[in-house]
């Protein structure tokens, strides 16, 4: 086989054979196929798509490019969650210890932010001393007690996906449905969890802007998971407005701790509990009550032990940005729209995100929301507070936000449901 014939086949809208897919993934992982050739194939897939059979074989080939983890020795059932990414999406932080407090083991392999979407590891690294990189033995120890771990995937887990994801990010092919589905599911299946809940987001702040595309992605991933023996369901959730009242690393950690303490924004609590119930059902723990675990402090206890087990200090002060700037409401009325993408772009420009995977992030940078759609606001009152260590970024962030908000003099606001559908 050769790369050019595989590229030509997909360029001409042909269905790739199983042998072609197995060969190209293996050869690319070994370095026998050049980045330029894989970029061309990724663009051909982006433009012409893949059949369900091609996506399944592509996913299996990426799983087989590396190791598979085994949690069979753990005394608890395993369950995991994956979000397709959004603005202010700090749900993993309270969710993992909450589900562990209810009796499951949660091996949460997470990533870093790119562009306007935040990364779970970047958020947790704002906690002094916390480590994202663990050996397999360290990960297993934390899964035994306290029962939840949030860490980076090891080098041996789906290495083909690691190479291909970095390539997609710089070639404009991130949004390809087949490549998104196979990227997510190859890592999650190789991870070895017994059940999986997917949070598939749609709206301006999501990669899938269109609800029909998001639903197709969710259905594809649910099918892939179940075909590989991982009990998988998906929630389709709204990402037209940021989750909670913060977008930024340390800002979101603070808000997550508020949720674990029994408070926090209503939408973050709602989605955390909904995902927790799905994860516990997948693990067979249907009698567990996650709302009780939030209110009685047991989820907070697991959080503190989890952070400590990974080298962090749960009592340490979180970083704060050196500079802040307030964006005021231009008029009085009802806030009817607060665009998630614009807020995420502003947070990125303030230093909370990165343009390339090797770029540093500012722990204290981000955007704080003082109002959400449906709230009544007064002209001149604080609407948003921008946080950064680099005040030169304020004008660029404000530019991103110039059309983000709509205020109606008087309006009967009808909120969009946070959870739009359940698939699986």
Residue 325 annotated as catalytic: no
Expressed in angstroms, the distance from the first to the final Cα of the chain is 38
Return the structure tokens found at 252. Answer: 């979101």
* Pairing between β-strand 79-83 and β-strand 195-202 as defined by DSSP bridges: parallel
Which residue do the tokens 């948003």 mark? 384
Instruction: Write down the catalytic residue from 122, 161, 238, 339.
Output: 161
Instruction: Write down the catalytic residue from 39, 126, 176, 183.
Output: 183
Residue 70 annotated as catalytic: no
Question: DSSP characters for 53-80?
Answer: HHHHHHHHHHHTTSB----TTSSS-BEE
> Residues near 394 by Cβ (< 8 Å), separated by ≥ 6?
323, 325, 350, 386, 388
Contact in structure between 72 and 107 (CB atoms under 8 Å): no
Question: Three-state SS across 101-123?
Answer: HCCCEEEEEECCCECCECCHHHH
Instruction: Write down the catalytic residue from 168, 188, 228, 305.
Output: 168
- Which residues in 94-225 belong to E strands, given as ranges? 106-110, 148-152, 195-202
User: Which has the closest alpha carbon to 364: 128, 112, 204?
Assistant: 128
Q: Quick one: CA dihedral 133, 367, 89, 302, positive or negative?
A: positive
Residue 187 annotated as catalytic: yes
Contact in structure between 42 and 3 (CB atoms under 8 Å): no
* Pairing between β-strand 405-408 and β-strand 376-377 as defined by DSSP bridges: unpaired
Instruction: Tell me how far apart the alpha carbons of residues 159 and 162 are, in angstroms, rounded to a whole number.
Output: 5
User: Which has the closest alpha carbon to 166: 35, 359, 261?
Assistant: 35
Cis preceding linkage at 146, omega within 30: yes
Residue 26 annotated as catalytic: no
Instruction: Tell me how far apart the alpha carbons of residues 83 and 104 are, in angstroms, rounded to a whole number.
Output: 19
Residues 237, 47, 113, 300: what is their CA dihedral angle, to the nearest 10 degrees?
30
Contact in structure between 21 and 33 (CB atoms under 8 Å): no
Instruction: Write down the catalytic residue from 57, 163, 187, 305.
Output: 187
Residue 168 annotated as catalytic: yes
Active site residues: 82, 161, 168, 183, 187
């Amino acid at each position: 086989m050769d790369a050019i014939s595989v590229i030509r086949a997909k360029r001409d809208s042909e269905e790739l054979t199983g042998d072609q897919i197995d060969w190209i993934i293996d050869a690319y992982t070994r370095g026998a196929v050049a980045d330029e050739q894989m970029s061309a194939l990724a663009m051909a897939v982006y433009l012409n798509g893949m059949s369900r059979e091609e996506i399944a074989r592509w996913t299996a080939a990426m799983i087989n490019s590396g190791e598979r983890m085994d949690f069979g020795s753990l005394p608890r059932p395993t369950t995991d969650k994956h979000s397709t990414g959004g603005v202010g999406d700090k749900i993993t932080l309270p969710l993992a210890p909450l589900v562990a407090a209810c009796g499951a083991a949660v091996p949460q392999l997470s990533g870093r932010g790119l562009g306007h979407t935040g990364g779970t590891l970047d958020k947790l690294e704002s906690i002094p001393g916390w480590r994202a990189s663990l050996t397999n033995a360290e990960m297993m120890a934390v899964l035994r007690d306290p029962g939840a771990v949030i860490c980076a995937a090891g080098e041996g887990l789906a290495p083909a996906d690691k190479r291909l994801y970095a390539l997609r990010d710089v070639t404009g092919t991130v949004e390809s449905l087949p490549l998104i589905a196979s990227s997510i599911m190859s890592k999650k299946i190789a991870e070895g969890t017994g059940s999986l809940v997917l949070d598939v987001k749609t709206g301006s702040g999501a990669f899938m802007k269109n609800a029909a595309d998001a639903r197709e992605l969710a259905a594809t991933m649910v099918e892939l998971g179940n075909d590989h023996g991982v009990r998988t369901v998906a929630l389709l959730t709204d990402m037209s407005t940021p989750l909670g009242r913060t977008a930024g690393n340390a800002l979101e950690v603070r808000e997550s701790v508020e949720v674990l303490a029994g408070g926090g924004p209503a939408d973050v609590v709602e989605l955390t509990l909904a995902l927790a119930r799905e994860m516990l059902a997948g693990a067979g723990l249907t009698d567990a009550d996650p709302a009780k675990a939030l209110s009685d402090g047991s989820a907070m206890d697991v959080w503190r032990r989890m952070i400590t087990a990974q080298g962090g200090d749960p009592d340490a002060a979180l970083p704060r940005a050196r500079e802040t700037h307030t964006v005021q409401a231009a008029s009085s009325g009802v806030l009817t729209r607060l665009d998630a993408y614009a807020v995420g772009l502003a947070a990125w420009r303030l230093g909370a995100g990165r343009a390339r995977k090797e770029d540093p992030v500012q722990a204290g940078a981000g955007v704080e929301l003082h109002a959400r759609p449906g709230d009544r606001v007064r002209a001149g009152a604080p609407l948003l507070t921008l946080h950064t260590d680099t005040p030169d970024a304020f004008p660029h962030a404000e530019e991103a936000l110039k059309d983000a908000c709509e205020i109606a003099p008087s309006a009967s606001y009808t909120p969009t449901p946070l959870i739009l559908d359940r698939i699986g």
